[in-house]
Each structure stands twice: as C-alpha cells, then as structure tokens.
Structure 1
Amino acid sequence: MTLPVNGFSKLSKEEKITWLADQHFLNKEEGIKTIKQYWNTNEQLQVLHDEFIENTITNFYLPLGIAPNFLINGQYHTIPMAIEESSVVAAAGKAAKYWQKRGGFKANVLGTEKIGQVHFMYSGAFAKLNDFFNSIQPKLFKATNSITENMQKRGGGITSIELRDKTNKLDNYYQLHCSFETLDAMGANFINSCLETIAKTFKKEAQNFDGFTSEEKDIQIVMSILSNYVPNCTVRAEVSCKIEDLNEDKDMPPKQFAEKFVRAFAIANADPHRAVTHNKGIMNGIDAVVLATGNDFRAVEAGVHAYASKNGSYQSLTNARVDGDTFYFWIEIPLALGTVGGLTNLHPLVKLSLEILENPSAKELMKIVAVAGLAQNFAAVRSLITEGIQKGHMKMHLLNILNQLGASEEEKKYFIKFYKDKTITHSNVINEFNSLRSKNDSSIPK
C-alpha cells in the first residue's frame, strides 16, 4: 500500500527515485536501472530536461520520424513527426507521394487572432457597467503598455477589448473579451500577463467610478486566462485533381473511389461516433508535428475538437466533394502555434525539427501542420474504403509484436517475409512465433 509523503518536491532526484522504488517497484534494482537507462549521458542536457517540469526522475522518449516529399504551395517540405503509433509516419509519407504527382497541397492562413478573457461578476445594471467600460477602455490598453511594447513594435499586441454580457448563461456573469496578435509566438504567457493587468486596472477603476453605487463598485474578478478556442486563428489546406487521376487503387475505378470517399465524410458528419475516430486520425498527423516543434498539443486538441462542434454537433474537420469532373478535399482548422519562445528556444530536438522545416514563421508552421493532418486523413479514409485499415496498420504493428516477444533479427526478417501476403492479427503472430520457437533455430527458412 502506498504511503503519503511530505516534502517530496524538496527531495533530491536520487531521493525521489529511492522513495518511488521503495513504494512501487516489485524489483527495486530493475526499476531504478530502467529509470537511469533513459538519462542523457550529457549531464548539461539532462539538467535542461529535468528543469522542463517538476519532480522529474527520467526522460520519456517518443520516436521522432520523418515524412518527406510534401509539396506545399509549390515548395517541398520534410516534416518531422514525434509519435509512438505505428503506421502514422508511413501513411503521411504515402499521402505526400500520392499528391505530389497531382499538384501537391495548397494552404493559406485565414486568420491569426488569439483570445483571452477576464471573467467577472457584477450585480448592478448593465447600462451602468457599459458606461463605465466605455469610459475606462483606453486605460485598459494603456495599463499594458510595458508588456505589449516590444510586441507592438513588431506589429502585434492587443487588438480589441470588448465587454460581453453573459447573464443569459449565468446570473451576474460578464467578460472582458480580448483579442491578440502574437506573431510568431504562441503567446500564452504574453496574453495571460496582459489579462491580469487589465483585470487589476478594471477593478481599481471601478472603485473610483461615480456612476456606481458602493455595492456596484465591488466587482468580483473570478479569473483572467487565455482561451484555447481560437476560431479566428485558422488555416485551410486542400488538394484537388481530376477524378480520372484517382487511379492508383486497382480494384476500384476512380469515379467509384471519389464517390465512396465523399460518402465517408457524409457518414462522419451524420454520426459523432464515426466523427470522433475520423478526427482522431487527423490529429495523428497534427499532434505529431505539434509535438516535434515544441508546441502545446493539448491546447491544439482542445481547440480543434471545440471547433468540430461549432455547428451544434460534433462533425468531421475535413470535407470532400465532387464537382463535375474534379475531386476536392480540404480542411479548415484552428491552430494557435508558435516558432519562438517556450521549448522552441530550449529543446535541442525542437530546434532541429524547426531547422528541418527551414525555420518557418508561425503562419508557415500552421500551413505545414494542417497539411500533415489532411494527408493523414486522406491515407486513413483511402485505406478504409479500399483494402481496410488493418492490412497496412498491422504490418507496421508486426515489429512491435515481435519486439514484445523478444524476436531475434533473423526471426524478424522471417516473419516480415512470412506475412507479406497474409492477414496479421496479434494472436496468429504469437501462435506462429511460438510454433517457430518450438523448433530448432536452424529451421528458420532463409
């Protein structure tokens, strides 16, 4: 039974690991050995990783893969992807190659507006509150000058501050709804610092407003925080080609492929059970690039899924249609990303990933990430409506199963060849592996 611990954060790294081993590991020596195996041999680099978060004991690695040949707006990109799931990188690369022959991907940023809000309670008349807000709005901007000065010099800053009445949702609830332009920074710290300053100024000025009664002056600031829902920070990525050019699936004529592909999206829009899995496939591509570039994939996920529900029900983030003899496939998605600040300046592999992408601006990164999601979705839906998802996925998963079984390199080569034209399931791989192991190693076919 685990016992509580006081002052855990004050323990040294070694003391934390010893406590963990004593409390949780069946084999203490093996547990500690595993933890230390993942320490970086470069002590300075390990200290850097230790200081990213709190109570660190080791590093948790994800594979960093590469998907080449992405033709975006006439230029080729090699896209880094950090992800643990089999087949994602391969599928992205396959989709890139497919559309490379058909004119490539087109992408453009539709908007870059970020959002932050001061949430507060006020029990008086709205007309009075509105008069107060209009009278002190310039002071709210001025109060943040020391924070926004450098951002303003580069063309960014606070673009608007609005008073919003939310009392139809919650009694006495109002917002200061603020919009921001943060340029190449994701901007979370910048936005939150501005909001807290705005909130303090708002509350202070209320105490001096003659139009309020003493009770109305007591505005309660509940919280000041950015929003990860950014419906005006969006990007569109698309592909299109003549239907006759959808000709790489031998068992399905191009017209049938296009019609079936479009029908798959109608189903995703009709049923949230399918839409969630459909969008998860999109996020396989998006999250992998977001992670590789040191951005916040949780924020992106939260905003994206809210956006998928903007019409009142959860639907597909991508769309497809046939117009005459042409096939169109596109995505419009909110992406609040940054290429400066945060991990982009600290994590060596993040720096390298951005270098692989030729050090894009935040807008360029938005385009690349959206294309990765679109490519991933195309590959997944294409598999679903033709040969099925498991054939390609399980072939990629085969090595994971064999590694779990402790297969030798010779055995891996044998099974890759053995399953070249066979259906792969977890159970039949185990059965075949055990059958092979029951024989002498010399029986492995060459």
Structure 2
Amino acid sequence: MSHTSRIPGLRDLPVEARRTLVAESAGIDPQRVAAFAPEHGMGIGLADHMIENVVGVLGVPLGVATNFVVNGREVLVPMASEEASVVAAASNAAKVARVHGGFSTSSTEAIMQAQVQVIGVRDPEAGRLRLLEARQELIELANAQDPQLVRLGGGVRDIAVRVVGSRAGTYVVAHLQVDVRDAMGANAVNTMAEAVADRAGQIAGGRTLLRILTNKADLRLSRARAVFDAETLGGAAVVDDIVHAAALAEADPYRAATHNKGIMNGISAVVLATGNDTRAVEAGAHSHAISSGGRYTSLSRFEEDADGNLVGTLEVPMPVGLVGGATKLHPVAQAAIALLGVTTAAELAEIIVAVGLAQNLGAVRALATEGIQRGHMSLHARNVASTAGATAAEVPAVVARLVADRMVRADHAERVLAELRSGSAS
C-alpha cells in the first residue's frame, strides 16, 4: 500500500482493523502502533514512576485524523481528546485543503527563554546595562551547564534585559534566550537560569529571586497556511460568511475566546497524544493572542484570495519536543511519533499548527452554515446513547432518534431505548 493519509471508510471498520490500516497507510509496521491498544499502553508501573501518589491510569480516546498533506507529505495525525467531532472536523477540513495542495508551514528557531528576576536594585536602568555589558560572561556560564546541548548546535543565543515596574517595586529581569533544538527545553533553560542567577544579581546590584522559564514562547513560533477551495466549502457565500465570522473573532474578545478554543481543540489533542506539555502550549498560545494594543484577539486569520478561495493562516508559539519527558517514556506517545513520521521538533510543531488551523476552519465553517450543533450533536448522541445503557447493537437506532427528534439528552435517550426494547420484545 502506498503511503497516504486518505483512508475512505476508516470509521466503518472495527478498531483493530483501523489500527492496522492506519499503520500500513503510514508505511510503518503495525507493531509500531501496538501501544495504541489499552492493554499495551501505559501500565500502572510506568505511571507510578511519572507522578506522585499514583492510584490508577486515566484513559483518553485516541483517534487518527486523515487527509492531511503538510508541505507535500501525507500525514496521519494521532489526536487524544474526549470531545466528539474534533477528529472528524479536522479530517474534513484537511480534505478541503487537499484540493489546493494541503498545508504549507514554517518555523523560527527553537528559542526558549528563562527569566532571572533581580530585586532591590537602586539604579535599575543602569543595572540593566551592566547585565548587557556582561552578556558574554553570562552566556558562557549558562552554556557550561549543558555542554551536550551546545555540541548539538544549541545553547544560549542572546541575553535580553528588561526593567519591569510593579505594585511592589521595580525589578531588573534578565532573559536567557536558548536554542533547545529538539527538546521542549524547560529543564535545560531552568538549569541555566539557576546557574547564572547569583552572578546576575551581583552584576545588577540586587538580590535574585525567580529563575525559571517563561511559557510565553514568542521566540519559538510555528506557522501554517492553507487555501480552502470555495466550491468545496459550499460556494462564494460561504467563503464570505466565514470571513465575517472570523473578523468578529479578531475584533471581539468574547468571540475570540471561543474561536481560539476551537483552534486548541486540535492543537492540544496532538500535543497530548505525543506526550508533550498541553499546559505549556496552551499558556503560550493564549498569551500570544494578546495584541500589541493589549486586547485579546483571534490567533488565526481568514481571507478571500484573488480566485475567490478562502485562505487561512495561523501562527502560534509551539514549544514541543521529541526528547525528554513523557514523549520518551510513554509508549503511546512513542507510537504516535512513529505514526507521524517526524524526526525533528520543528516538524512536529508545524504539523500541530496545521491541525489547529484545520480544526478552526471546521468549526467556523459549521458556524457559518448549518450551526455547530448539528454535526457536534450527531457525534455527541453516541455518548448519550451509551450513557443511557444502549448496547453496541442498539446505539445506531437510538442515535438516529435523538438526532431526528433534536433532543440529544440523557432522559430522552432512556425513553427511546425503553421504546426500542419494548418494541423488540413484542
């Protein structure tokens, strides 16, 4: 089988058959994704080594988004999420993007920053300049903490210093700007910050307090762009309405919060599936949504191009890695990386941003046409039917009634199920 992310009918297969077909479509041995089966995933022993006071393991559904083409490469994307419609929406949007070649992406260098806070400096502006004058000394001291990173081409690239006023005083804050290569980088930059803290305090003329990374990773950006075919979307009127819907998210923080949540539905699902830090990525993304004017706004942009098609763009901080942390420990994360076929953190980051853009397009398209509830509730109805006690054989009939009645509620599902069973008994 040729390597492809286009797998029609995948949802109609049994789970084990899906897993095998996904692996074969990605061009890898099905054994590479064996950990996707619950019995081969994270056991209690490994969990007990990862966090404190372990009493169990929480399962999260893991799906695979299809149809993605990123920089000309077919990609099957593992997504971990409890929310119905997320995987389907991403897959459908990626199918629309395929018409014009899929997603194009790019990234900056993998620069993470650590802050060293100096308090009690009598002359903070002069203290800032003293630290900048000692730039080379501080860089060498920091790089000495991680010679392996330096050998790999990473390490401190520069030092920035800010004077920050607060209600409790004025602080001199030094930023170590570190190329962390294929790591998320928190441990590396924190170690460096702690190593230079005392010396930085001496130079600035105060006492150091905090020495830790910032999750506002605005020097580590990834970008995705796609052209969504107007005809496939539903025509010029749909394109126009999507542009208007997106424009409200740009202008209105209330709409922007939900708009960006839709983006993060896709981003966080891939970040989680690959064993990366969802909280760090989410913090960085939402902080990036603060405009230069101090207003919270949408992370993505949608425009109409000269041919009448919809162009979507997304640029966000993406501090993810392939080395260290759960990515190397968790068997499911390892299998997810194998399925993606990525070899660098930048490549992983760019795929994640492409998924975020696809997810966003899927949500805004639904809002601009049929409304979000129709597709979302159709999938949510399966959860409601199961919660009401429907067996696998009964679920399709219960779902069909819930959707037809436009009453996707637990109490209605119980009534429908009782009627179904009563009719079967008679």
Using a 3 Å threshold, how does the CA distance of structure 1 residues 168 and 399 change in structure 2: closer, same or farther? Answer: closer
Corresponding residue number in structure 1 for 2:413: 429
Aligned residue pairs total 386
Using a 3 Å threshold, how does the CA distance of structure 1 residues 103 and 138 change in structure 2: closer, same or farther? Answer: closer
Distance 2:370 2:136 in 1: 62
Using a 3 Å threshold, how does the CA distance of structure 1 residues 398 and 302 change in structure 2: closer, same or farther? Answer: same
8 Å Cα contact 2:66/2:77 also seen in 1: yes
Q: Work out which of the residue numbers 52, 55, 60 in structure 2 matches 1:62.
A: 60
Using a 3 Å threshold, how does the CA distance of structure 1 residues 118 and 367 change in structure 2: closer, same or farther? Answer: same
Distance 2:346 2:295 in 1: 29
Corresponding residue number in structure 2 for 1:352: 335
Distance 1:266 1:132 in 2: 45
Deviation at 1:417, TM superposition (A): 4.3
Distance 1:117 1:64 in 2: 36
Q: Which moved more, 1:158-167 or 1:187-196?
A: 158-167
Corresponding residue number in structure 2 for 1:162: 160
Corresponding residue number in structure 2 for 1:78: 76
8 Å Cα contact 1:148/1:158 also seen in 2: no
Deviation at 1:145, TM superposition (A): 3.7
Distance 1:127 1:304 in 2: 31
Corresponding residue number in structure 2 for 1:361: 344
Query: Following superposition of structure 1 onto structure 2, how do residues 278-317 of structure 1 map, counting pairs within 5 Å?
Result: 278-311=259-292, 312-317=294-299
Corresponding residue number in structure 1 for 2:151: 153
Deviation at 1:120, TM superposition (A): 1.2
* Alignment RMSD: 2.3
Corresponding residue number in structure 1 for 2:207: 220
Residue 275 (str. 1) matches residue 262 (str. 2): no
Corresponding residue number in structure 2 for 1:239: 226
Corresponding residue number in structure 2 for 1:94: 92
Q: What amino acid sits opposite 2:325 in the alignment?
A: G
SS at match of 2:232: coil
Larger Rg: 1
Percentage identity across aligned positions? Answer: 36
Q: Work out which of the residue numbers 371, 389, 412 in structure 2 matches 1:406.
A: 389
Residue 380 (str. 1) matches residue 360 (str. 2): no
Corresponding residue number in structure 1 for 2:106: 108
Using a 3 Å threshold, how does the CA distance of structure 1 residues 42 and 86 change in structure 2: closer, same or farther? Answer: closer
Q: Which moved more, 1:128-137 or 1:364-373?
A: 128-137
Q: What amino acid sits opposite 1:393 in the alignment?
A: H
Distance 1:234 1:163 in 2: 21
8 Å Cα contact 1:395/1:424 also seen in 2: no
8 Å Cα contact 1:116/1:178 also seen in 2: yes
Q: Work out which of the residue numbers 51, 54, 58 in structure 2 matches 1:53.
A: 51
Q: What amino acid sits opposite 1:316 in the alignment?
A: S
Residue 339 (str. 1) matches residue 322 (str. 2): yes
Deviation at 1:240, TM superposition (A): 1.5
Structure 1 residues without counterparts, runs of 5 or longer: 1-39, 207-215
Deviation at 1:48, TM superposition (A): 1.2
8 Å Cα contact 2:64/2:79 also seen in 1: yes
For 1:327-370, what per-residue CA distance to the aligned partner results, in whole angstroms no more than 9, with x for missing partners? 31111111111011111111100100000011331110111000
Distance 2:146 2:231 in 1: 54
Using a 3 Å threshold, how does the CA distance of structure 1 residues 200 and 97 change in structure 2: closer, same or farther? Answer: same
8 Å Cα contact 2:224/2:353 also seen in 1: yes
8 Å Cα contact 2:124/2:170 also seen in 1: no
Distance 2:302 2:43 in 1: 46
Deviation at 1:424, TM superposition (A): 4.4
TM-score, length of structure 2 as denominator length = 0.85
